Amino acid sequence: MTKAKTFGGGIHPRYNKERTLNLPIVDAVVPKELVFPLSQHIGAPCQPLVKVGERVLKGQKIADSDAPISAPIHSSVSGQVVAIEKRPHCSGQDTMAIVVSNDGLDEEAVPASTGTSIENVPADEIVRIVREAGIVGMGGAGFPTHYKMVPPAGTKVEMVVLNGAECEPYLTADYRLMMEESEQVVLGLRLLMKALGADKGCIGVEEDKSEAIAALKQAREAFPDIEVIPLQVKYPQGSEFMLIRAITGKELPVGRLPAELGVIVNNVATAVAVANAVTTGKPLVERVVTVSGSMVERPQNLRVRLGTPVGALLEQCGLKGQPGKVIKGGPMMGVTLANLDVPVIKTTCGLLALSPEEAEPLEISPCIRCGRCVDVCPMRLQPVFIAQFVERGMLEQAEAYNATDCRECGCCSYICPARRPLVQNIRLAKSAILAKRRK
């Protein structure tokens, strides 16, 4: 039996996936009003293409940008534009957004099916369709997918890797996609391979997700250039750096692009969105979101229209009182939401409602120099020293210890017996160092 692949370092947190692991994807409620922030991706924000009072259709492009690193935004319902104004955003800051009043008719702007097959669509047309569909990295990063599909001149992409690790605790949205839409996952991978001219495709899945591995192996049976690779169950197995190291054995230098190693990485949900866009003309207007946590009575994997307020999903799943904290994403790298009016965007893979007790700040004690943070750091950094430099305002020393190489996975903070805010301090250091470099 082939040994599951992995990387050095990492941790084994309690995964808390059992409540949603075997729950099939179901449709979420579609609210009366949906909010579409103009920034849902890494890169330049979009500009509105519609005006207040205008009627829009489901799938209609309502915002776009001329910037190369950006992705258009489409309405997920038909209805009337009632406002273009600042609204709450998951970043914690109010940002410009288009607000659409849902008319409940779901009149579509795109055909139900184009009949396009992978054999008949040219590589450059795949890139164009992906760009026009507004597809971005749906694992949480939000990098525009079309931009990754045109690697720098002089680079040859030999392998496309799909990230099916889903190593964050609680989250099972990708797992359910791999189970229920395995053929679309494989089709999306084939389309990405064709667009990039790659000879090989790999899907990395943690070995405890045996049913997903079996479903994907069955879906790729006719395609010998695609391999399903079991990975060890470890966090942060799904990080791009760690995934490339585990699957290829290659080390991605910090600041370099995966394409320079001949590899491109995409999330399995991104691959499904690519398959849907090419074969049906459907833009990215919905995504699967895991709603879970101790304050949720009925955890679910929901297919959610983009623009749906977080509060509506928590209500559908039975919010048990006032949560101590609501997190977008997983508990390791997710962000705390300021209020429940924040809408679901393209990068919302999970919503966790935690109890007031779980949200209580931990009592911090002095560092005991145990070295555990160094042992688990997958980037081979020394978090204890970097964090102490930050506490003393010694940014030059923090930079010398490669603070900007940190992937902010949180392994160091998780393992620290003194409960020191290591990753938080390193994040402060990165922000200050990068601001200094920009000057």
Whether 336 maps to a domain, the answer reads no
pTM for the predicted model, two decimal places: 0.95
Answer yes or no: do 145 and 268 share one domain.
yes
CB-count burial class (<10 Å; 0-12, 13-18, 19+) for 327: buried
CB atoms within 10 A of CB 66: 8
Instruction: Single out the residue in 246, 280, 314 at which a domain terminates.
Output: 280
The predicted pLDDT at position 288 comes to 98
What's the chain's Rg over C-alpha atoms? Answer: 21
For the chain, give the mean pLDDT.
94
CA distances from 81 to 103, 138, 234, 238 (A): 11, 26, 45, 38
Domain boundary among 280, 309, 342: 280
Higher pLDDT, 216 or 142: 216
- 228 and 127 in a single domain? The answer is yes
CATH of the domain at 170: 3.40.50.11540
Instruction: Determine whether 408 is exposed, middle or buried from the number of CB atoms within 10 Å of its CB (0-12, 13-18, 19+).
Output: middle
pLDDT bin (cut points 50, 70, 90) of residue 383 is very high
Confidence of residue 251 (pLDDT cuts 50, 70, 90): confident
Same domain, 255 and 403: no
Residue 338 lies in a domain: no
What per-residue confidence (pLDDT) applies to 140?
77
pLDDT at site 152:
85
Using left for φ > 0, alpha for ψ between -120 and 50, and beta otherwise, residue 391 falls in alpha
Q: Evaluate if residue 117 carries a pLDDT over 80.
A: no
Asked if residue 172 is part of any domain, the answer here is yes
Q: In angstroms, rounded to a whole number, what is the distance separating the alpha carbons of residues 78 and 309?
A: 17
Same domain for 246 and 392? no
Residue 328: pLDDT band with limits 50, 70, 90 = very high
162 and 267 inside one domain: yes
Q: What is the pLDDT of residue 3?
A: 78
In-domain check, residue 89: no
Residues 378 and 275 placed together within one structural domain of the fold: no
Q: Domain ends where: 230, 254, 280?
A: 280
Q: pLDDT tens across 292-307, in order? A: 999 999 999 999 999 9
**Is residue 288 in a domain?**
no
What per-residue confidence (pLDDT) applies to 2? 59
**pLDDT tens-place string over residues 165-212:** 999 999 999 999 999 999 999 999 999 999 999 999 999 999 999 999
- Does 112 score more than 70 pLDDT? no
Residues 130 and 274 in one domain: yes
Q: Is the pLDDT of residue 41 over 90?
A: yes
Checking if the pLDDT of 401 tops 50, the result is: yes
Q: What does the pLDDT average to over 270-285? A: 95
Residue 107 located in a structural domain? no
Residue 163 domain flag:
yes
Res 202: pLDDT: 97
Is residue 207 situated within a structural domain?
Answer: yes
Tell me: pLDDT of 114 over 80.
no
pLDDT at residue 356, rounded to an integer: 95
Q: Which domain holds residue 420?
A: 372-438
- pLDDT at site 305: 98
Q: How large is the average pLDDT for residues 18-31?
A: 97
Output the pLDDT for position 1. 45
Instruction: Name the percent of the chain lying above pLDDT 70.
Output: 98
- SS3 sequence, the chain? CCCCECCCCCECCCCCCCCCCCCCCEECCCCCEEEEECCCCCCCCCEECCCCCCEECECCEEEECCCCCCCCEECCCCEEEEEEEEECCCCCCCEEEEEEEECCCCCECCCCCCCCCCCCCCHHHHHHHHHHCCCECCCCCCCEHHHHCCCCCCCCCCEEEEECCCCCCCCCHHHHHHHHCHHHHHHHHHHHHHHHCCCEEEEEEECCCHHHHHHHHHHCCCCCCEEEEEECCCECCCCHHHHHHHHHCCCCCCCCCHHHHCEEEEEHHHHHHHHHHHHHCCCCCEEEEEEECCCECCCEEEEEECCCEHHHHHHHCCECCCCCEEEECCCCCCEECCCCCCECCCCCCEEEEECHHHHCCCCCCCCCCCCHHHHHCCCCCCHHHHHHHHHCCCHHHHHHCCHHHCCCCCHHHHHCCCCCCHHHHHHHHHHHHHHHHHC
Tell me: do 275 and 377 sit in the same domain. Answer: no
Provide the pLDDT confidence category of residue 83 given band limits of 50, 70 and 90: very high
How many domains is the chain partitioned into structurally? Answer: 2
The verdict on 406 and 270 lying in the same domain is no
